[in-house]
């Protein structure tokens, strides 16, 4: 238990001032941004890092010998070091830059997967996966004649670990599991899952798209084999992500895409590939956004992830209590361990209608199936309304959501 007295309060107004977009109005009303699980807004330091790069030292990286190229390379590689610390990877070579979580998962499916998965092998995912942690494995299984097995969940939206144990066998090659559900907020016990998967010789990929902004990530302690996440959900720019992998796995894996950067020597009849991490980074990378990603990670570290989490958990508790008082409202996803997002439905009302009317009140929520159709089917609903909170959100904004919902319900009923 956290003692209230020990919680150091964040100056949320000071934090809000660092996000220029929070000053804008929608339909003459102040914006309330509760779609943070889709993407977070960006602090001024991130925007400045992008502008500075393009105004001061834009250059292609790694091979240029001029000053600008050296500065750009140093800034780009500095992000790799910061990411290494952020997830406590053993070496910087294990940090591979991607476009985002989706590309990270596809990279593993297309390299490790194609090399290691054979007919009759089994891959385990869960009911609460995002489409990006279903489709790459479905494609791979179709190609190889392998089987996709799915861990079921209970009505609170928690994985049934007993069922997971039953699915594990000597045929299991890979468990690819979401750390935090984007639609429910459930925090999955990945460490336990990883231990059990390892006991049958399977490897584990953790989809960290939603967890990395809320939870302290220590890939060595977790002992995951792969961990993928995206910059834009951590206050950073879109178009950058990270794939972490265990060194021996990454070294044994075949290359992903061919091109510049990922080679050492090229002959028409023979190619010597580059070392990690460059082996997986073909072509000119997303230099500007990768550099600015460091500013986002520094922004989070300066505030402190624990303080951010405490604030977000307060918002979650407040929103949950207030929402539950609305007649006919049902929260979907009531796991014991949850991050700061609430998914809900209201009796007889379509989530999309609620979303449109909340937008009319300048409240940005996400409605729909949240790219998790099998999960929605499991609950027997077409979708939910999802409000997800970030460090800059306030209780007053939750009050605005509650008022907006009351008004929407009145209009729709």
Partner 1 sequence: MDEHPNIKDIEKEIADEFSLFDNWDDKYEYIIDLGKKLPPLEDQYKKEENKVRGCQSTVWLVADYRDGRIFYKAESDSVIVKGLISMLVRVLSGQPPEEIINTRLEFIREIGMMTHLAQTRSNGLLAMVKQMKNYALAYKLKNEGVQK
Q: Is 224 a residue of the active site?
A: no
Q: In terms of CB distance, is 89 or 329 closer to partner 1? A: 329
Tell me which residue has tokens 């002959």.
Answer: 267
Q: In terms of CB distance, is 292 or 358 closer to partner 1? A: 358
Asked whether the beta carbons of 355 and 315 are under 8 A apart, the reply is no
Minimum CB separation from partner 1 for residue 128, in Å? 19
Q: In terms of CB distance, is 2 or 411 closer to partner 1? A: 411
Q: How far apart are CA 413 and CA 408, in angstroms?
A: 8
Minimum CB separation from partner 1 for residue 383, in Å? 6
Q: How far apart are CA 201 and CA 410, in angstroms?
A: 56
Residues binding partner 1 (CB under 8 A): 27, 350-353, 355-357, 360, 367-369, 382-383, 411-412
Q: Could you give the angle at the alpha carbon of 281 between the alpha carbons of 279 and 287, nearest 5°?
A: 145
Minimum CB separation from partner 1 for residue 371, in Å? 10
Alpha helices in 145-203 (DSSP H): 161-167, 190-199
Q: How far apart are CA 185 and CA 318, in angstroms?
A: 15
**What would the two tokens of residue 8 be?**
């150091």
- Within 8 A by CB and 6+ apart from 223, the residues are 191, 194, 195, 198
Q: In terms of CB distance, is 17 or 350 closer to partner 1? A: 350
- For residue 265, the cross-strand partners are 272
Among residues 141, 224, 371, 378, the one annotated as catalytic is 371
Minimum CB separation from partner 1 for residue 360, in Å? 5
Q: In terms of CB distance, is 357 or 375 closer to partner 1? A: 357
Buried b (16+ CB within 10 A) or exposed e, 341-356: bbbbbbeebebebbbe
Residue 167 DSSP SS3? helix
Report, as residue numbers or ranges, the catalytic residues. Answer: 371
């Amino acid at each position: 238990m956290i003692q209230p007295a020990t919680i150091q309060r964040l100056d949320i107004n000071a934090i809000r001032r660092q996000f220029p977009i929070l000053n804008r109005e929608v339909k003459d009303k102040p914006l309330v941004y509760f779609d943070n699980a889709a993407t977070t807004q960006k602090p001024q330091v991130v925007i400045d890092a992008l502008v500075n790069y393009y105004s001061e030292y834009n250059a292609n990286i790694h091979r240029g010998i001029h000053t600008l190229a050296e500065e750009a390379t140093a800034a780009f590689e500095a992000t790799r070091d910061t990411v290494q610390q952020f997830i406590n990877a053993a070496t910087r070579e294990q940090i591979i830059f991607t476009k985002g979580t989706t590309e990270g998962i596809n990279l593993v499916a297309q390299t490790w997967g194609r090399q290691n998965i054979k007919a009759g092998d089994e891959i385990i995912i869960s009911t609460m996966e995002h489409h990006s942690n279903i489709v790459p494995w479905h494609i791979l299984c179709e190609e190889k004649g392998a089987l996709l097995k799915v861990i079921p969940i209970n009505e609170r939206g928690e994985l049934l670990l007993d069922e997971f144990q039953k699915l594990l066998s000597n045929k299991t090659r890979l468990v690819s599991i979401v750390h935090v559900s984007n639609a429910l907020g459930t925090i999955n016990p990945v460490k336990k899952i990883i231990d059990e998967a390892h006991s049958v010789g399977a490897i584990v990929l953790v989809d960290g798209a939603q967890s990395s902004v809320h939870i302290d990530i220590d890939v060595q302690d977790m002992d995951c084999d792969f961990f993928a996440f995206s910059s834009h959900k951590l206050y950073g720019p879109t178009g950058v992500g990270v794939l972490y992998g265990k060194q021996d796995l990454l070294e044994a894996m075949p290359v992903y895409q061919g091109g510049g950067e990922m080679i050492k020597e090229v002959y028409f009849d023979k190619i010597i590939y580059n070392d990690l991490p460059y082996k997986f980074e073909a072509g000119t990378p997303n230099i500007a956004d990768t550099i600015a990603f460091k500013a986002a990670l520094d922004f989070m570290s300066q505030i402190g992830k624990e303080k951010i989490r405490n604030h977000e958990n307060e918002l979650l508790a407040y929103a949950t209590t207030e929402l539950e008082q609305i007649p006919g409202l049902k929260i979907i996803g009531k796991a014991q361990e949850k991050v700061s997002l609430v998914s809900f439905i209201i009796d007889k009302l379509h989530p999309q209608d609620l979303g449109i009317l909340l937008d009319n009140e300048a409240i940005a929520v996400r409605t729909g199936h949240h790219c998790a159709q099998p999960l929605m089917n499991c609950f027997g609903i077409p979708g939910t309304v999802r409000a997800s909170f970030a460090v800059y959100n306030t209780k007053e904004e939750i009050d605005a959501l509650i008022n907006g919902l009351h008004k929407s319900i009145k209009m729709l009923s």
